Structure 1
Amino acid sequence: MKHDRGEGPGGPVLAVEGLWKSYHGAPVLRGIDLSVEAHEVVCLIGASGSGKSTLLRCVNLLETVDDGTIHLDGVEITDVRADPDDVRKRMGIVFQAFNLFPHMTVLDNITLAPRKVHGVARPEAEERARELLDRFGLADKAGAYPDRLSGGQQQRVAIIRALAVRPRLMLLDEVTSALDPELVTEVLGVIRELKAGGMTMILTTHEMGFCREIADTVCFLDGGVLLERGTPEEIFTDPREPRTREFLKSVLDARRI
């Protein structure tokens, strides 16, 4: 793998340059450039189908890219010699579907990757898991099975499972969209705590108020193009692009109905 960019300590955690991705000849991502600094929270917003989830899947190497590069701490992870499994050890990704193993307890779900992928001894993995469960208000659920948990609790477990491997970067893909409104708050609280702890994160969300609160940088994707980026104040108060203004107006009008 290439180590020629010189990032790492003091450089961006993630650098995406000229990223293209198509499905069956139809472009989904069109020349995306994105840089994420250590401890930065980047929110991706845009209509469904704009490419937000695909971008996260490319960063995690769940999708192959057609053109462009992705660097993690200065190392090109899109290099053909890169080991995707090794790269994924350094990232946590959480989807809108919880993807918990139904036949495993909460504790076993959380400790599986540390033990099987990272080689952590069971006692150490379980100690870490219990610390995280306690931190996020689920200490009494270690022995429960996923079907005994609410949707909000399942999503918190999914986030804890990703945190258990001590990731360099967290990717959160619409983690509240499958939840009933009253359960959204508890999951957003977890993300707030992650930000307070300095976790580097990229998240996609339709929760505009939360995005404005949590993000350091907001990126608006439209038709696979990163059309505009800026601080929450810039994007939500005075966006430059007419398409950004149109999108935000439609989202906010829908919330008033």
Structure 2
Amino acid sequence: MSLLSIREVRKSFGSNVVLDRFSLEVEAGECVVLIGASGSGKSTLLRCVNLLETVDDGVIELDGYDITDPRVDADGVRSGIGIVFQAYNLFPHLTVLDNVTLAPIRVHGVPRDVARTRGLEMLDRVGLAAKATARPDELSGGQQQRAAIARALVNSPKLMLLDEVTSALDPELVGEVLDLLRELKTDGMTMLLCTHEMAFARDVADQVCFLDNGRLLESGPPSQVLENPTEPRTQEFLRRIRL
């Protein structure tokens, strides 16, 4: 059984259909990379998986549990999913450690000392233990994004969702974040991520999925989708992104 199963999901905003009968299976330990033009539905898909958006139709199952059931405990589901956006979304008035531990303490009721111990472990994991007492504006962009990843990891999620996490970074800072994602993949973390970093997708992804107008147009191993795509629309997209 797949860790994440997305079946015939439909999502629209008014008359704009953003996800059109979208289906995808993600196995435990897999890194699945979503590619496609802006507006193709990638970010909306991640938001639906994390229950930040409600699907209009279809089913999303996490570890065999239907998380699209309207009776579901959304906070309970989110505690098993880590999500990182392209904007760091760190609270500027809090220290890095307080940013990482805020949700476990306030939302999930984790005792403060337990949360802080776990938070320090995660900051050490992402190479930021020495910055625990710093404020976000004292960090580089790459360090802030790694802090955001530490915040997502602190609850030991089953699944990580990452939405263009390097797009807001200066080019010289992109590598340090991608190196961390490579380490997470090596450690067995299941990841579903959107990126325009084709070299990263080629090296790390188990599966690459090309989205077009809310549909999964083509999917397969990186060697097939990125090097020998069969769909003309995929070929066109890759030609443009490589220019």
Q: Judge same fold: TM > 0.5, yes or no.
A: yes
Q: Could you tell me how far 1:117 is from its partner in structure 2?
A: 2.3
Conserved 8 A contact 1:113-1:165 = no
Alignment match, 2:239: 249
Alignment match, 1:125: 115
Alignment match, 1:189: 179
SS of corresponding position for 2:142: helix
CA deviation digits over 1:16-52, x for unaligned, max 9?
0001111111101101001111001000000111100
Distance (Å, rounded) in 2 between the aligned partners of 1:251 and 1:32: 24
Alignment match, 2:201: 211
2:99 to 103, 109, 134: 109
Pair 1:98-2:85 in alignment: no
Alignment match, 2:149: 159
Distance (Å, rounded) in 2 between the aligned partners of 1:200 and 1:208: 19
RMSD value, Cα: 0.9
Alignment match, 1:143: 133
Alignment of 1:168-183 (within 5 A): 168-183=158-173
Distance (Å, rounded) in 2 between the aligned partners of 1:134 and 1:167: 17
Alignment match, 1:47: 37
Distance (Å, rounded) in 2 between the aligned partners of 1:54 and 1:39: 23
Distance (Å, rounded) in 1 between the aligned partners of 2:171 and 2:108: 36
Pair 1:61-2:51 in alignment: yes
CA deviation digits over 1:154-187, x for unaligned, max 9?
0000000000011011000000000110110111
Alignment match, 1:201: 191
SS of corresponding position for 2:83: strand
CA deviation digits over 1:4-27, x for unaligned, max 9?
xxxxxxx11110000111111110
Identity %: 64
Distance (Å, rounded) in 1 between the aligned partners of 2:130 and 2:64: 41
Distance (Å, rounded) in 1 between the aligned partners of 2:103 and 2:204: 28
Distance (Å, rounded) in 2 between the aligned partners of 1:164 and 1:213: 26
SS of corresponding position for 2:242: helix
TM-score, with structure 1 as normaliser: 0.93
Unaligned runs of 5+ in 2: none
Distance (Å, rounded) in 2 between the aligned partners of 1:64 and 1:134: 35
Unaligned runs of 5+ in 1: 1-10
CA deviation digits over 1:64-87, x for unaligned, max 9?
111111011111111111121111
SS of corresponding position for 2:37: coil
Q: Could you tell me how far 1:120 is from its partner in structure 2?
A: 2.0
1:124 is aligned with what amino acid? V
1:22 to 1, 12, 19: 12
Aligned residue pairs, count: 243
